[in-house]
Amino acid sequence: MPADRPEGIPETVRLWSLTEDTLLEAGDDDTVVAITWWGEYELAGIPGPVRESLSRMVLGPVSMGNLTSSAGGGADAWAGALRKVLNRLSGSVVHSLALNDGRGPVLSAIPVTPSPVFPTDPVPPGRLIKLSRFSAMRPDDGGLLLESPRARYRVALLRPLAVTVASSLAGPVTVAQVAEATGLAAPLVADVVAFLVAAGVVLVADDWAAFAEDDDADLAVWSPDDLMFHARSRTWQKGGPPDREAHRAGEEPPVVKQITAGPTFPLHRPDPAVIEATDPTLTTLLEHDHTCPEVTERALTAEQVGELLYRAARVRSIGPAHLPSGPGHEASQRPYFSVACLYELEIYVGINRCAGLARGIYHYDPLWHTLTLINDDMGVLDGMLDVAMIGAGSRRRPSVLLTMTARMSRIAWVLGSAAYATTLVHVGALQQVLYLAAKAMGLTAHAVPVDAGDRVDRSLKLEWPTEVSVGECVLDYPYSR
């Protein structure tokens, strides 16, 4: 950063460090092995001063000037060698900006991808700047964290100066306007803004005052929440909880949720021999054209509900299981797919028209193959059925509504921060099995969006967010005109 500033304006200093999870091991001769989040890097032919500099960067942020001053002769060649190493380890290099007051960094850019580039170009004078619409700020470790799913870095705002500048970039402004609004020196604001631009959380307009992000058709289909969820769950970006064992606090959650309140009703168990003899083939089911079903007024039977749940969701067996590199856990076997046989999904059955079962909301126990009445408030049931009716694009309430929930502690016990993304995969797997089993029985099962606010959570008496609703399915007969 420029040092020839007017008197009284603080000078900014660039600092470098390695992420806290980076380990360095000395190899043979001049070899250093860097063990990082992204893998191991064998660095051969590393001069002694470079090895020493890397060791210092493991301890915390340091300036290149301090590193080169300790190198003695050949500082330029040494600095070039260090930069090559840092470029190779860019996914583990933290860039920081500090003032020359000895009080530590103002803000730090922490990499979240394996090979990010951190450009150092200044923002052209008078150019408009603003936060990306995908940027979000949240508390983290006593400070504020600014991140965007489009950025290759997340930025820790460590001092009020950084927070003041970042929060002034909600709309298109110039560096001069930010400086005037905040009372901060323009050169200081320019350095902080350039740092945020380099991290990817702040945008710079073109010569015509337009931002490329605003006119990007590919980005227009994404909401900030959806793109952040994708970036943090589908890709292997850093960002889980600081304590990797936090999700394993307490005892292992049970394989099956225990419901004791309310009357319990045993369900019909179909004869496997009859199913085998009468079912259409899988190819027949898959090759049959899909249609948008219409809700009928025909009542289902308790026997049909029992057979469908038995075929699609019952517990076949319980036993130990584990991921190849994960801890062991108690698991179950059921007809649909679940990673590591965790089966965190619960099924609640809303009965509207069903011979043999009274109207109400029931919980399905897949181990004992029973239904337990949990809510007999007809107004609550009708409210859920009405939303399902609207979601199905119908004028009739469905006969039976299945609601799927997830016990997050059950799946997070093994998968940690990947739990929710995996749960959505499991919902799709269960929906598909329900769809095929229903079709084989001459019924229809189709997904509908139901949850309006916290309606489902209240109706099912869930302890949110311990257990959350994740999907719905309507059961019916095929519509015939």
Tokens, residue 162: 């950084």
**Residue 82 falls within a domain, yes or no?**
no
Q: Give residue 102's region: left, alpha or beta (phi > 0; psi -120 to 50).
A: left
Among 233, 258, 281, the domain-final residue is: 233
Residue 312 CA to its chain's centroid (Å): 28
pLDDT tens per residue, range 296-326: 888 999 999 999 999 999 999 998 876 666 6
CA distance 37 to 114: 9
Which runs of E-coded beta strand occur in 101-175?
Answer: 105-111, 129-131, 136-140, 143-147, 153-157
Q: Can you tell me which residue has the tokens 């469908």?
A: 308
Together in a domain, 277 and 156 = no
Last residue of a domain, one of 183, 212, 233: 233
Angstrom distance (rounded) from CA 60 to CA 284? 63
| 100 inside domain | yes
- Give every CB contact of residue 280 below 8 A, 6+ residues apart in sequence: 439, 440
Supply the DSSP symbol for 395. Answer: S
Q: Does 336 map to a domain?
A: yes
Do 339 and 427 belong together in one domain?
Answer: yes
Nearest by Cα to 298 from 475, 435, 447 = 475
Same domain (yes/no): 200, 302: no
Alpha carbon 273 to its chain's center: 43
Alpha carbon distance 150, 311 (integer Å)? 43
Sign of CA dihedral 372, 377, 378, 384: negative
CATH number, position 309: 3.40.109.10
Note whether 302 and 268 are within 8 A (CB). yes
Report CA-CA distances (Å) from 187 to 2, 122, 190, 229, 424.
9, 11, 5, 36, 48
**Same domain flag for 192 and 312:** no
Residue 156's Cβ-count burial label (10 Å; 0-12, 13-18, 19+) is: buried
Give SS3 for 407.
strand
Shared domain check, 276 and 216 = no
Residue 49 lies in a domain: no
User: Coil, strand, or helix at residue 459?
Assistant: helix
Same domain, 189 and 297: no
Check if the beta carbon of residue 199 is closer than 8 Å to that of residue 155.
yes
φ, ψ at 413 (rounded to 5°) = -55, -35
Q: Is 58 helix (H, G, I), strand (E, B) or coil?
A: helix
* 174/311 same-domain check: no
116 lies in some domain: yes
Please answer whether residues 197 and 135 qualify as being in contact, where contact means their C-beta atoms are separated by less than 8 angstroms: no
- Cβ neighbours of residue 134 closer than 8 Å, sequence gap 6 or more: 148, 149, 150, 222, 224, 227, 228
Residue 366 lies in a domain: yes
Q: Are residues 204 and 346 in the same domain?
A: no
31 occurs within a structural domain: no
> Residues in the chain with pLDDT < 70?
1-8, 68-75, 234-250, 293, 322-327, 451-453, 480-481
Q: What global pTM score does this model have?
A: 0.83
CB 34 within 8 A of CB 89: yes
> Residues with Cβ < 8 Å from 30, sequence gap 6 or more?
44, 45, 46, 47, 48, 51
Rounded to whole angstroms, how far apart are CA atoms 283 and 289?
Answer: 12
Strand pairing class (93-99; 345-351): unpaired
Are 421 and 355 found together in one domain? yes
CATH classification of the domain holding 192? 3.90.930.60
The number of domains in the chain is 2
Domain residue limits at 463? 246-476
